[in-house]
Amino acid sequence: MLHHIRPLNILLAIVAELSIYLTLIQPVDPARDLVNGWQLTAFILFSIGMMTAGYVLNDLYDEDMDRANQRLSPLVLGKIHRSQLWKLFAGGQLVTLVAWCYLWQSYDYLAWLWMLWLGPTGLWFYATRLKCSPVAGNLLMAFFAACLPAMFMVGNPGLPWKDDFPAVIRFMFLWYLYFSFGATWFREIVKDLEDYSGDHQANCTTFPVRFGRGVAHRYALLIGGGYGVGVLIFMTMVFFRLPPLTGMALSLLAGMTLAMAWFLVINRDYRRGQQWIKVHLAAGLAMLWIFNVLEVWNG
């Protein structure tokens, strides 16, 4: 059953939220009041429940496509019944609802908290409507990835743009959202290329199915290349705030993981390519902690 909730993806999301909280929110006096310990726990539980329900719903709707793509999940292999997955989906939704109710009352019934339901609604809409959309589905998942670490700002969305909010923290926060969005968009189109055969058989009109594998391959390289330019700009901007050897090491950490993914996509090894994009995202989280330890924020 664990296969259907993607435990590694959920763990990466939890680490992302903790990293954002501990490295970009706690060090900033104006931001500390945004989230206390109990609220942080509720945000994490909200994410776990939402992602669990979303992944299960996706697998329930994609059973035929997964069978065609030879994704040998417990559901495809007949080791688990659909009714069990529907119960797991209900459990994830229950955790999401309980966590949201706590957050709503803890923020004095703030109207902005209703925005959090865009996450579960978006995942449901993706699984049932946008999964086979050539571009919209990929963009929705990228938007979701970028919004996940931004949930903490729901108590005061305008805070990062206030004068007393440190400009360098604002810079790092916005760049991390860019990383989440760009890398996820790149990974989603690579994943569609990996699943081309099964999606084609199931008449799921993803980008590769609609426009052909050749066009989709070039599209993936374009997205990955554009994202890579952004990473290069970011590393150039922070390089001079670091000791030379540290700057070179971090540049290799960010650049080489992305270059490895790009190289694999060029060679049409889409399965390993999208796995290396995950490694690149994990490297981005590691960089946040390294910046924090080295007090890059303080110049």
pLDDT score for 45: 95
Tokens of 261: 């993914």
pLDDT score for 69: 64
Q: Does residue 265 register a pLDDT over 90?
A: yes
Determine the 3-state secondary structure of 66 from DSSP: helix
Contacts with 163 (C-beta within 8 Å, 6 or more apart), sequence order: none
pLDDT tens-digit map of 118-143: 888 888 888 777 878 888 888 988 98
Q: Return the number of other C-beta atoms located less than 10 Å from residue 293's C-beta.
A: 9
pLDDT tens-digit map of 222-261: 999 999 999 888 888 777 766 777 777 777 778 889 999 9
pLDDT score for 66: 67
CA distance 100 to 82: 27
pLDDT score for 254: 81
pLDDT score for 299: 46
Residue from 287, 31, 35, 285 nearest 161 by CA: 31
pLDDT score for 294: 67
pLDDT score for 44: 93
Cβ neighbourhood burial of 288 (10 Å; 0-12, 13-18, 19+): buried
Give the residue-averaged pLDDT of 53-70.
76
pLDDT band, residue 151 (cuts 50/70/90): confident
Average model confidence (pLDDT) across the chain: 84
The DSSP code for 151 is G
Domain spans of the chain, in order of start:
2-152+165-298
pLDDT tens-digit map of 189-218: 999 999 888 888 878 888 999 999 999 999
**C-beta of residue 243 within 8 angstroms of C-beta of residue 290:** no
Looking at the structure, give the CATH architecture of the domain made up of residues 2-152+165-298.
Orthogonal Bundle (1.10)
Determine the 3-state secondary structure of 28 from DSSP: coil
Ranges 98-102, 151-155, 278-282: which has the least confidence = 151-155
Contacts with 159 (C-beta within 8 Å, 6 or more apart), sequence order: 30, 31, 34, 153, 165
Give Rg (Cα) of the chain.
20
